[in-house]
Structure 1
Amino acid sequence: MSPNITRPNPAIPLTPPTLPPPGASSNAQEIIRQLLGLTRSNIASKLKLVKRIPLGGEVWEPEGLVRLAGSSPEEERFWISAGEYTQPTIKYPDGEWRDGSDRQNGAGFAHFLVFDGNGKRVGDWVVSETGDGEYHNGGVEFDGRWIWGCLAEYRPGGRASVIRVDVERLEVERVCRVGDHLGGVVRDGRRLVTLNWGGRKGRVWDLGKVGKRDEQSVMKEEGGFDVPEEVVTNPSHWIDYQDCKFLGEYEGRSVMLCSGIATLGDGVEVGGLAIVDTRSLVPVWEVPFMLRTDDGKRVLMTKNPMDVGVVDGRVRLWFAPEEGRGAVYVFEVGEGA
């Protein structure tokens, strides 16, 4: 079936001329070194906004962000996973939970939006069908060949599928199915690590076992869920992770960078970044990041998606926090960090 994609100018490609290596894992040691220099007391002076890139058109609720580096802004691409919601979720009365969730599923569509490095919209790919229960498109990861992501019901619990996306052939493959919400995924060699609602629980998957199931088996409506190699409870209650990127090895651990927010009592919101062990979910570094957008929305930078890489020797972070109409905010770690 042909992809349901809108391209203002089909002559403009959706990827750079050559797919780049993953920006995070290919620069892992330098990223870790510079990020470890950020602390609660110096992050405001060391992590500086260097560019704001307005995005053309509606972005709905952005959830995941992958930057595909190019030799120029015209060749650079931002792939953003997003959810368009046409029917809201409804909380069960009196704080009731049913079958592992506190609300009824809503309805909507899962999108992959593609922009160039100037924010020009070059593609809008709808990857769910009308009536699909799994319409929430979560955090994403690029491994140099595929974008890995999650399509899920938009509620705690529920059901979800891990997908991988061929960005050149425009094909989506469902890899495994889970009886829980999935909001993020990273690829660690032959393993996948998925995170559920708020990143409260992690699952580790062996790609050699889950990557061979046929589409009809994965798409069974009732049951038929895959079994992970491990299930780990997140020991940190600092922030709920929104998007994560695999880095590599640090002091004998396999680690990823995660960003996110938490809403505390009386509506107080906090944002932050964390380098996290992919197997135990134990953070090896955490720092608050409380900067907000300066328009009327006043959104925490870490509310929605994030990517990380190195440009001209300095670590850069890309955030797309705003719903509706928004921008990519580019931050750089300054010298001395």
Structure 2
Amino acid sequence: MDCKSRRRLTTILTMLCLGALPVTLAAAELDRDVLAERVTKLSRGTQWKPVSAVPVNFLTHHPQGMVKIGDTLFVSSVEIQQPTKRFPQPVDGYDRDTGAGVGHLFKIDMKGNLIADITLGEGSIYHPGGIDYDGKYIWVPVAEYRPNSRSIVYRVDPETMKAEEMFRFADHVGGVVHDTDSKSLHGVSWGSRRFYRWALDANGKPTNASEAPEKLRTLNTSHYLDYQDCKYAGKSRMLCSGVTEMRLTPEAAPFRLGGIDLVDLADGRPIFQTPVLLWSAAGMDMTHNPVWMETSDAGIRGYFMPEDDKSTLYIYEAEVK
């Protein structure tokens, strides 16, 4: 290496250390890969140690998805103004009406304070789902609050909180993941029973969104969890958190078991699955709705917001070797 090249490398390294340059995509991909590998070392016996519990200082409604960018959280949530009502018999293929509500994307600091709030959706399409961050944009699906319905997928600039509609789709998309390696977007349906894949062009627009949904779908072969919030985990994998509810009798209160799956985006099959044996004092499983996970010195740090309205941000760490 000549002196000029050496000086240039030294300057870049110095700027990185001082925070003058953004984290590179390669570094972000490496962190996702490390997180995915550490997840595969979790087990039912893993001890999750509490780090903190931060009260969220505003009405959160019904939180759905979460990403953490630096020291800022972004949380999608549905404000239910009129609950849906089930029909005695299906009507036009639907088992319930649309209800009414408002979709939100909150920007929150780590002390639980609201920085910004934008609304997403239109008319009966008001239910945001699980969200993902691709290094530049936050991807947010908003759907009708009923299965087999319709959705709008947005991407949001986290700095300006400006939302751009990317496409519409003829099914309930309850969560999205942006595969930055294959330049594709992946969605999960109501209850995550179906997976969808959309190829993206250079502007982030899908090239196949107009195709019939059945041509784009892969059936979920795992019935252990209903995925609530998924994130891209590198190497064409997604890390999904969710819950399964069980009742001993129809009248009994549900027992909620949360967990996480590492899923191969090529065929929709789980690579690794494990329960997460954490519950709030009110009995909500920690992976019930918004979840963010990242690497830490100990192994994995998880951020959870399972409760509605008066939410708490629970932070736990798991040591993995």
| TM-score, normalisation: structure 2 | 0.84
Q: Which residue does 1:182 correspond to in 2?
A: 173
Q: Does 1:66 align with 2:67?
A: yes
Per-residue CA distance 1:222-267 (angstroms, 9 max, x = gap): xx95556731000000010000000112xxxx21110001122333
Aligned-partner Cα distance in 2 for 1:159–1:108: 15
**Identity across aligned pairs (percent)?**
34
Residue 8 (structure 2) aligns with: none
Contact 1:24 1:245 (8 Å CA) reproduced: no
The equivalent position to 1:126 in structure 2, one of 114, 119, 135, is: 119
CA contact (8 A) 2:298 2:319 kept: no
2:296 aligned with 1:306: no
Runs of 5+ consecutive residues of structure 2 not aligned to the other structure? 1-18, 249-253
- 4+ runs of 1 displaced by more than 6 Å? 16-19, 21-24
Count of residue pairs the alignment pairs up: 292
Counterpart of 1:55, as a letter, is V
Q: Distance in 2 between matches of 1:19 and 1:106?
A: 43
Q: Judge conservation of contact 1:275–1:284 (CA < 8 Å) in 2.
A: yes
User: Based on CA coordinates, which of the two structures has the bigger radius of gyration?
Assistant: 2
Match for 2:32 among 28, 35, 50? 28
CA RMSD of aligned residues (A): 2.4
Report the Cα distance in structure 1 between the residues aligned to 2:28 and 2:318, rounded to whole angstroms: 15
Q: Give the whole-Å Cα distance in 1 for the aligned partners of 2:210 and 2:132.
A: 22
Q: Name the TM-score, length of structure 1 as normaliser.
A: 0.80
Equivalent residue for 2:238, pick from 250, 253, 256: 256
Cα offset, 1:84, TM superposition: 0.2
SS of alignment partner, residue 197 of structure 2: strand
Structure 1: stretches of 5+ with no match in the other structure: 1-15, 70-75, 214-223
Aligned to 2:251: none
Q: CA deviation at 1:98?
A: 3.4
The CA deviation at 1:33 is 2.4
Q: Is the 8 Å Cα contact of residues 82 and 99 (structure 2) preserved in structure 1? A: yes
For 1:1-337, what aligned pairs fall within 5 Å after superposition?
Answer: 25-40=29-44, 42-43=45-46, 45=47, 47-69=48-70, 76-93=71-88, 96-128=89-121, 132-189=123-180, 190-208=183-201, 211-212=204-205, 225=210, 227=212, 230-249=216-235, 254-266=236-248, 267-294=254-281, 297-312=282-297, 314-336=299-321
One-letter amino acid of the structure 2 residue matched with residue 66 of structure 1: V
Instruction: Find the aligned partners of 1:172 and 1:286 in 2 and give their Cα distance.
Output: 34
Kindly indicate whether the alpha-carbon contact (under 8 Å) linking 2:221 and 2:268 is maintained by their aligned counterparts in 1.
yes
Structure 1 distance, partners of 2:185, 2:127, is: 19
Q: Is the 8 A contact 2:42 2:320 kept in 1?
A: no
After TM superposition, give the deviation of residue 303 of structure 1 in Å: 0.6
How far 1:302 moved relative to its partner?
0.8
The residue identity in structure 1 corresponding to 2:161 is L
- Report deviation, 1:305: 0.9
Partner Cα separation in structure 2 for residue 68 and residue 149 of structure 1: 15
Partner of 1:8 in structure 2?
none
1:138 & 1:24 partners in 2: Cα distance? 23
